[in-house]
Amino acid sequence: NYTDKSAKFKFWVRQTFRLVQIGSTDLVYVIKNDLLLVTHEQIYYRVVDCHVAVGQSGRDKTWAEIKRLYAGIPHQAVSIYINMCDTCQIRRSFPTPISGKPIVSIGFLTRL
């Protein structure tokens, strides 16, 4: 029955989220951890803000800041942004090439 599912959904929403009005803006908070729920449209801006706030210190510190402030931002979004960040790419160290010994052929050694 559709109305039964709708009633269960409404109950779940009321138990899980809290609506806060600040001026003309409606904000949704997760009741369990009292974190602001971020919409899909805001994910990029929130990730950028947190990444700059931690001094562009990498994925783990950015993720820790996001977990402290917001709910609903996937970890994959943070990883994608960090991989695309120009400043982080410049600072990222490149692996040094493996320097091995040169290969000396037997034919070269017999000519001596």
Q: What confidence category does residue 88 fall into, taking pLDDT thresholds of 50, 70 and 90? A: confident
pLDDT tens-digit series, residues 7-64? 899 999 999 999 999 999 999 999 999 999 999 999 999 999 999 999 998 899 999 9
Element (H, E) at 27: strand 25-30
Domain boundaries, the chain: 8-37, 39-93
* Distance from the first to the final alpha carbon of the chain: 93
pTM to 2 decimals? Answer: 0.73
Burial of 51 from C-beta contacts in 10 A (0-12 / 13-18 / 19+): buried
Q: What is the pLDDT of residue 5?
A: 77
